[in-house]
Amino acid sequence: MKKLIKSVIPSIIGSALTIAVFLLIGFNREDSNRPIQKQEQLQVHNALYTVKENGEFVPLDFTGVSKGVMNSVVHIRSTHKVQATSNSFYNNQRNPFGDMFGDDFFRFFQGTPDPRGKQQGQSEPFVQMGSGSGVIISSDGYIVTNNHVIDKADEIEVTLHNNETYKAKVIGTDPSTDIALLQIREDKLQGLSFGNSDLSEVGEWVMAIGNPFNLRSTVTAGIISAKGRNINIIDDQSAIEAFIQTDAAINPGNSGGALVNLKGELIGINTAIASPTGAYAGYGFAIPANIVDKVVGDLLKYGMVQRAYLGIMIRNIDGNLIKDEKLERSEGTYVDSLMENSAAAEAGILAGDVITGINDTPVLTSSDLLEQVGRRRPGDEVEVRVDRSGKEMTFQVKLADQNGERKLLAKKQMDIIDVLGVKLEELDRDTAGKLGIEGGVRVTEMGNGLLKNQTSISEGFIITGINHDRVTSVNDLRKFLKQEKGGVLIQGIYENYPGELYFAFGLPE
């Protein structure tokens, strides 16, 4: 009996498979003469496939994507000359290449700093070197990276996948999003195309390409584990953080590298990691490609980022806020207060409202709101949905800049002092006489601009010259800078520090 069962089972299985095959090709007795229909078959090439919500088949084959994007990711080395001194002014300065590896859990992850030469307390300069990654976005040499990779660098060197090396020029930076745009002199490069980061989904496969620990052209794979993350790592008053979170392995040196989907499209610029040690511990964070695309477009077209604001102070909704304000919803962004010249106030939004959406995009957290507004320019109109004491309302808001203006600024319309990003005051004669100078202009406040992004000048610095032309007033400074193009040498003193100091920076063309 057992032998009979053993022989029957294979026969049944074989018969069932035969019947299934006949059914698939459309065979039946009533229409045996009908031509066999040719079936469309999916070519698998030894790869698994995943199916997206729209029914699209996406191959889980990393080899083809790797080959396609590798030539678009570069290695960046940045050099910063530091004047070592025992004076407390220099000892307290921010080290742009060394402070990425402090005790904070969230960290930027450019390559390990390499201080060479002199120790603290000696007067001779030494060199600090940092490394990171970048992404070629056009055939004529434009490269995107993180601002913290090249911040305050005196020299930037870019090495392509084929080991060719170039000197790079800074086209523009945006500390608020930690984006920098560089260019090298080459016109036959392979640029990486931007994908729509809004369409990327949690659970989707992605690949990270960069240069961790100076290991060139390293590829890792993982999934998107979250979107819209705010980790409070960008040190800027107008910071925009809505990171794509991924578990693809990324480490120091990956900063500025590419996060791509399985179509080979750029969906993010890798920027930070969550780690108690400074090395990979499971989670990395990338700036969404849609934000990068907007920032780069502004830098190329206007020479600066045209940032739009609603003009509100916001808070994330949590249990305490729900209880204190008796809110009827747990998602959205709470409007804590409105600023002067507020675009939101002009449209009718009030303190206490909960913003739930911008145009067709839901707003679940403050990061969602910052991302949506940060991708727009002054003068753009958006539809803002709010919950006011349980009642859904919609407002048409015309966004403004930080000063309440609703128009874009061209390069030629900008005051050169605004480009520097500083507030200034002219020295009176008595102060100038005590310092032994003819006159000068003191930096009273450092904002987001060229001097902050490209030099280590601090508040209190007294500007006395531009390219060896004597500066005694703000008008002198404005006049000399308008005459210059490209590199500028600025000289001056600190009131309580001996000797004259020199700093170099580049004016946008």
| DSSP-assigned beta bridge partners for residue 83 | 125
Mean pLDDT of 200-227: 91
Per-residue pLDDT tens over the stretch 52-91: 667 776 667 788 889 989 999 999 999 877 655 434 333 3
Q: How far is CA 135 from the centre of its chain?
A: 12
pLDDT of residue 488: 87
Question: How many residues belong to the chain?
Answer: 509
Q: Is the pLDDT of residue 369 over 80?
A: yes
Query: Is residue 148 flagged as an active site residue?
Result: yes
| Res. 387: pLDDT tops 90 | yes
* Mean pLDDT value across the chain: 80
Q: What angle do CA 185, 190, 194 make, to 5 degrees?
A: 110
Query: Catalytic: which of 75, 78, 131, 148?
Result: 148
Q: What is 286-355 written as a DSSP string? A: EEEHHHHHHHHHHHHHHSS----B--EEEEE--HHHHHHHT-S-SSSEEEEEE-TT-HHHHHT--TT-EE
Domain boundaries, the chain: 2-41, 56-305, 312-398, 411-506
Question: How confident is the model over 102-160, as pLDDT tens digits?
Answer: 335 565 655 544 444 344 444 556 677 888 999 999 999 999 999 999 987 888 999 99
CATH 3.40.50.300 is right for the domain spanning 411-506: no
Angstrom distance (rounded) from CA 91 to CA 110: 22
Evaluate if residue 421 carries a pLDDT over 90. Answer: no
CA distances from 422 to 15, 271, 298, 445, 458 (A): 84, 27, 21, 6, 10
pLDDT of residue 158: 96
Per the annotation, the verdict on 66 as an active-site residue is no
CATH 1.10.287.70 given to domain 56-305: no
Instruction: Determine the pLDDT at residue 504.
Output: 86
Q: Residue 386: what pLDDT?
A: 97
Architecture of the domain made up of 312-398: Roll (2.30)
CA distance 221 to 246: 9
Please identify which of the residues 78, 131, 255, 342 carries the catalytic annotation. Answer: 255
Query: Of the listed 178, 247, 353, 476, which one is catalytic?
Result: 178
Residue that wins the pLDDT comparison between 508 and 37: 508
Is residue 454 over pLDDT 90?
no
Residue 75 a catalytic site member:
no
pLDDT tens sequence across 167-203: 998 888 888 899 999 999 998 999 999 999 999 999 9
For residue 6, the model assigns a pLDDT of: 42
pLDDT digits over 480-505, tens only? Answer: 887 777 778 899 999 988 888 998 88
Q: How confident is the model at residue 69, as a pLDDT? A: 94
| 412 or 481: which leads in pLDDT | 481
Q: Is it true that 56-305 and 411-506 share their CATH fold?
A: no
Q: How many CB atoms lie within 10 A of CB 502?
A: 11
Residue 227 has pLDDT above 70, yes or no: yes
Name the β-bridge partners of 288.
Answer: 268
